[in-house]
Chains A and B, each alone.
Chain A
Amino acid sequence: MTMFKTISLKNMVVAGITAFLLLAVVPARADDVAVKIGNFTFGPQDLKVKAGTTVTWTNEDDIPHTVVSANNFRSRPLDSEDKFSFTFTTPGTYKYFCSLHPHMTGTIVVEAATGSTAPPP
């Protein structure tokens, strides 16, 4: 019995560490999503991320652009090499565009952080 207890306690500690590591690693990877603005396009144009992910747009054009999603987020004008980041906490579909060059559009689909098969609300 004491043996079991010890093992289970050990297992719990291991599980706890594993869980901690997973929590630490998964969001860290998700944090690092980049969208490139180049040649008057967002690349990738359509992106799927987990809730909690931070997306960073970088303007690689010689012309300023913006990243605007009505009622959700709005960047300042991004000059060349300027960046804009937004953390998506709520699942859903986020359509965005450049308010200076409105033919430039993109979409971010944010899925729930747990249960990857769960459909976005």
Chain B
Amino acid sequence: MTDRDDGLNRRKVLECMTWAGTGVLWTVAGGVPTSLGIIDEAVAAKQKGFTFLQISDSHMGFDKPANPNAKGTLEEAIGRVKALPERPSFMIHTGDISHLSKPSEFDDAERIISQARLDVHYVPGEHDLLDEEQGKLYRERYGRGSKGAGWYSFDADGVHFIGLVNVVDLKAGGLGNLGNEQLEWLEDDVKGRSASQPIVVFAHIPLWTVYPQWGWGTEDSARALGYLKKFGSVTVLNGHIHQVMQKVEGNVTFHTARSTAFPQPAPGAAPSPGPMKVPDDKLRTMLGIASVTFKQNEQRLAIVDTPLQG
């Protein structure tokens, strides 16, 4: 279930009011939230910042040797989420919810992920748009309130979140693709915003060129990043490559999350990027989730990747 319309904003307002009730008074100066007064136990919690989670590449329906039980490992990942001592504000899912876009696969994902009892903001992976009408199923389930193939933005705790779709209309020989319509929307979406507002962009395929030989990059990402140049803090969260990678370029931090389904090889480390079979006792060290914390007055968001095991 996504909830990126007014419902979320109302809920966030209510949540902030709850915080105010326990003693934190929020103000927004230049787009960056700062707490003015702090009382009792809220001190510890709020000093840790505002936290959301990223999960990615659930691949419901995948049953090949690299992980015959992708459902089980997603359940384990959601179990980890439920066990967190601090409840995150929401989750983002960076695509490949399903393996073959089958209704039953989306159903399984929904049943398991909803157990976390968090709002989830989705963007599609290429595996989510494989139905006859190339994404109709995805958009019916996850696309409410989104534009085009499923892009949208929302604000939470003073941070501006932008969900992009770079898995549609891919060109032969090319990489991931945002397309002109989406890029124009993005330019407009960030135009009036203060440069000091932290930006979080999330999309399935990496928005930086990880390894073009395997298609790990996005053709027109430079134009997208150009629109975000003025911002002091930009965090780009991706999936697709089923492994953790990070790169910092000026004010932009790029990060990819692990899959909950199966690992993929490091760039160039295998003949192809196909699912990597590892010994059974190693699998859970290569699957997992990411937790992202925004700390007040810090430019970079703290990203902690947690494997299912080890």
Contacts and interface: CB of A to CB of B under 8 A. Distances in A.
A88 interface: no
Given A102-B171, A102-B175, A39 B215 contact: no
Given A77-B130, A103-B175, A63 B170 contact: no
A102 B172 contact: yes
Nearest to A40: B272
Interface in B253-278: 271-275
Interface residues of A, number: 20
Interface stretch (A11-19, A21-29, A50-58, A93-101): A93-101
Given A62-B64, A77-B100, A100-B126, A40 B172 contact: no
B72 interface: no
Interface string A41-85: 100000000000000000001111000001000000101100000
Given A64-B100, A79-B100, A105 B173 contact: yes
Given A79-B100, A102-B171, A39 B213 contact: no
Contacts of A99: 170
Most buried by B among A61, A79, A95, A99: A99
Interface string B12-55: 00000000000000000000000000000000000000000000
A62 B65 contact: yes
B172 A105 contact: yes
A58 to B, nearest CB: 15
Contacts of B93: none
Nearest to A97: B172
Contacts of B273: 40
Interface in B167-195: 170-175
Nearest to B64: A62
Given A77-B100, A97-B172, A105-B173, A62 B215 contact: no
B66 interface: yes
Given A40-B274, A62-B64, A64-B127, A103 B99 contact: no
A99 B177 CA distance: 12
A119 to B, nearest CB: 24
A39 B173 CA distance: 16
A96 to B, nearest CB: 8
Contacts of B170: 99-100, 102
Interface in B294-309: none
Contacts of B172: 70, 95-97, 102, 105
B274 A61 contact: yes
A70 B170 CA distance: 12
Interface in B40-99: 64-66, 99
B206 to A, nearest CB: 14
Contacts of A96: 172
Nearest to B262: A62
Which 10 pairs show the lowest CB-CB distances between chains A and B? A97-B172, A39-B272, A40-B272, A62-B64, A103-B215, A102-B170, A77-B130, A39-B271, A100-B126, A62-B275
8 contacts: A39-B274, A97-B172, A100-B130, A101-B126, A102-B175, A102-B215, A103-B174, A105-B173
Interface of B: 64-66, 99-101, 126-127, 130, 170-175, 212-215, 271-275
Given A61-B272, A64-B130, 5 more contacts: A40-B214, A40-B272, A62-B65, A70-B172, A100-B170
